Chains A and B, each alone.
Chain A
């Protein structure tokens, strides 16, 4: 089991590297840095929301129209990120993707931030951006908030008659699979403590489903704990 650990970690790293392939956007260095930070907060928040949504989804098949697309929390940063509000969850959170700028030619290093009891790790963070980041950090948290708000992309509205069209619905079976897959990948990511909301949601989900017996992928969480100790 332990012998395979390396391989699994590699897999997780590959997943993270892929996460980095978000479309690059033209932004000033400052704006880019701010959006990195705000994205972290957004991702973090969205992750938590997503898990809440999962628990709800298993309670009954019905997902009310307003939250019909559970993944919309990830796509639509409609509400400004509440940057200064740390979540009450006291766990480390691995941020999967962010490095929108990573494709740029400059030298990249891993960046680790400790903030409000959370550990954030960015793979391949461009060295040129570090200066910007420090500048932002010196300016104080409030500055971050205000600067990041306008950087959040606004939702494109359908041109025609500006009709609010419904999100394309997803088949229940596929929806469940993608949720399971997401849990699995989250569980495999390094830098994560076992007793986090992900595992909690998973457990409550099974309780809700009346499943009683643990699903095999829950076991992966335990391997992660071992890694954590290393």
Chain B
């Protein structure tokens, strides 16, 4: 049955027998390893015997380090000397929501310093949510610049356009430059000019969601020089300034960014014409009803559409989406409403990914009230059966809607649901049975997020998540459960859970620690908002070798407030991050953070 614990991925030692002198020749093993891509298959193979371990180490081309403090750079790079591509993740995901201070850490310097001499094959570097300085980029460029084909600085901060100029001048083989949502100090647009002048092989350029100002002429020059440019995602330049660029870049398939900075002036945008192959579209900041027809000629070929940053109303969404039958990816705000979701369900039969973000929730009336509920989600479940990813902020929800998703969306890989807190009465809580049905039926689910409100999921429901989430590797839970007992029941399942985030839950510190010890695959847990002690002493229950515990103490104001049962209150400041690390305690903790370790 679905959702239950799968067989552990483990290879027998017996496989190595016969591999000796007269066995399978080394070359053959190398060839076979060449077909192993899944990192978990690689992991299993590398544990068979020393020989397999060595062959894996020499043939591994890509490594993702899920958390930059989990291992020392030198150790990792010494093991995989022929690495071609390295991805590193830094700050907790919560930093994407403004919940992590800038000085938290995740400095790229120790890593980039190691990427120099020994790694002769390295040509792709991807840093996510890390602090990167101009000097760091300089070190990387000097060591690997001539080889570098992919540089992704993804939601990073700490560098300036000087670093980009250096990259533009030195990395002539660069195919991908990715800077999405980086906080870059803007010292002028020369970097783009240099990139356009020096590079002729660029395929992807992304500075979406940055504040970087660029010159339209440089974009045009880039399009002229890089005939292979397929994807441009950029900051909010006015779309009327991009007419020349669009005319020039004939191969462009993806565009995101740009803005209709003068809404109502649609005559100004009449001449904007997308390149013929464009099928992935987003940004278009401030696009309103008047500008929307500008998309119509392309709507039938669109595969991806991101309307999160537009001014469209529910009605506009309905009109536009009804013309987009080939969408695979759609991102919107909840202004789309249940009516909009019904149009999606009727139109977009191939849809794979759907994200429904949260709009403004103040009463200033800037936005048409569009709310998404069980009605819309049910329609989606019935209508879009190819969905692999659903993330939705809903205003109301029922068990039935979750059951529908379980019944129809068999390909679901990633499901995230946040119940907004504005509406007082929710039709059908707790969601225990709906969650159970969804988890049992969506057997391909690997990532799961559920953020409700007190009363949204009982301890029984939390137990169901543990029981039926056997394949799930990442989970975020907020405002779920009623007591410590629920958390423990949950933790008894979760056989493959590697990363867990909890927020705003009523659990005690002791229960958290005990729960962590129950989850065999857990390697990373982040918690904000729980019943914290002043010193975090109960967290030491989970202390063990290689397990780092970092604690942000509760706020002093709330320190002495107790619940009726004598437990401390849930404290919104208290934060815990605990993770496995081969590197020991990290040396760069900010002062407000306490590392806990047994005396």
Contacts and interface: CB of A to CB of B under 8 A. Distances in A.
A55 B220 CA distance: 34
A209 B235 CA distance: 14
Given A156-B424, A158-B453, A168-B451, A20 B236 contact: no
Q: Which residue among A165, A213, A216 has the maximum number of chain B CB atoms within 10 Å of its CB?
A: A165
B15 interface: no
Interface in B313-371: 333, 357-366, 368-369
A181 interface: yes
Contact of A161 (B362, B366, B506, B528): B506
A7 B262 contact: no
Interface in B268-290: 285-286
A165 B186 contact: no
B94 A169 contact: yes
Interface in A61-80: 61-66, 68, 71, 74-75
A41 B181 CA distance: 36
Secondary structure of the B contact surface, majority rule: loop
Contacts of A68: 98-99
Given A65-B573, A163-B454, A173 B209 contact: yes
B364 A19 contact: yes
A18 interface: yes
A116 interface: no
A164 interface: yes
Contacts of A57: 98
Nearest to A156: B424
B211 A211 contact: yes
Nearest to B180: A173
B366 A168 contact: no
Interface centre among B265, B365, B455 (most CB of A within 10 A): B365
Contact of B98 (A8, A61, A71): A61
A156 B161 CA distance: 47
Contacts of B236: 215-216
Contacts of B573: 65
A68 to B, nearest CB: 7
Contacts of A135: none
B101 A165 contact: no
Interface residues of A, number: 61
Given A165-B479, A166-B503, A209-B211, A63 B98 contact: yes
A198 to B, nearest CB: 13
A108 to B, nearest CB: 17
B418 interface: yes
Contacts of A180: 285
B58 interface: no
Contacts of B478: 168
A210 B97 CA distance: 22
Contacts of A215: 236, 261
A65 B97 CA distance: 11
B6 interface: no
Interface in A155-194: 156, 158-161, 163-178, 180-182, 184-185
Among B187, B311, B360, B453, chain A packs the most CB atoms within 10 A around the CB of B360
A211 B366 CA distance: 26
A172 B369 CA distance: 22
B96 A166 contact: no
Interface in A186-230: 209-213, 215-217, 219
B529 interface: yes
Given A97-B365, A172-B97, A174-B358, A166 B572 contact: yes
B421 interface: yes
Contacts of B186: 209-212
B134 to A, nearest CB: 14
Contacts of A64: 101
A16 interface: yes
B95 interface: yes
The listed residue with most B CB atoms (<10 A of its CB), out of A60, A61, A160, is A61
A3 to B, nearest CB: 10
Contacts of B368: 18
A174 B99 contact: no
B469 interface: no
B196 to A, nearest CB: 19
Nearest to A162: B563
A210 B285 CA distance: 21
A22 B364 CA distance: 9
B185 interface: yes
A165 B213 contact: no
Nearest to A176: B209
B4 interface: no
A24 interface: no
A177 B96 contact: no
Interface in A17-76: 18-22, 43, 57, 60-66, 68, 71, 74-75
A215 to B, nearest CB: 7
A141 interface: no
Interface in B481-500: 482
Given A7-B264, A209-B211, A159 B454 contact: yes
Contacts of B570: 163-165
Interface in B431-474: 451, 453-455
Contacts of A216: 236, 238, 259, 261-262
A177 B308 contact: yes
A167 to B, nearest CB: 8
Nearest to A73: B362
A197 to B, nearest CB: 16
Contacts of A219: 261
Interface centre among A18, A22, A43, A57 (most CB of B within 10 A): A18
Given A63-B98, A164-B569, A185 B482 contact: no
Contacts of B181: 172-173
Interface in B239-295: 259, 261-265, 285-286
Contacts of A178: 359-360
B460 to A, nearest CB: 15
A111 interface: no
Nearest to B561: A164
Given A62-B102, A65-B99, A68-B98, A174 B308 contact: yes
A69 to B, nearest CB: 9
Given A61-B157, A172-B181, A16 B286 contact: no
A71 to B, nearest CB: 5
Interface of A: 4, 7-8, 11, 15-16, 18-22, 43, 57, 60-66, 68, 71, 74-75, 96-97, 156, 158-161, 163-178, 180-182, 184-185, 209-213, 215-217, 219
Closest 3 interchain pairs by CB? Answer: A19-B365, A216-B261, A169-B97
27 contacts: A18-B366, A19-B364, A21-B369, A61-B95, A61-B102, A61-B183, A63-B99, A65-B573, A96-B365, A159-B455, A163-B504, A163-B569, A163-B570, A165-B529, A167-B421, A169-B94, A170-B98, A171-B96, A173-B181, A173-B209, A173-B308, A175-B98, A176-B209, A180-B285, A181-B311, A185-B366, A212-B186
Interface of B: 94-102, 157, 181, 183, 185-188, 209, 211, 213, 236, 238, 259, 261-265, 285-286, 308-309, 311, 333, 357-366, 368-369, 418, 420-421, 424, 451, 453-455, 478-479, 482, 503-504, 506, 528-529, 555, 563, 569-570, 572-573
Given A63-B99, A171-B357, A211-B186, 13 more contacts: A8-B264, A15-B365, A18-B365, A18-B368, A61-B98, A68-B98, A97-B363, A158-B454, A165-B570, A169-B97, A172-B181, A181-B366, A216-B262
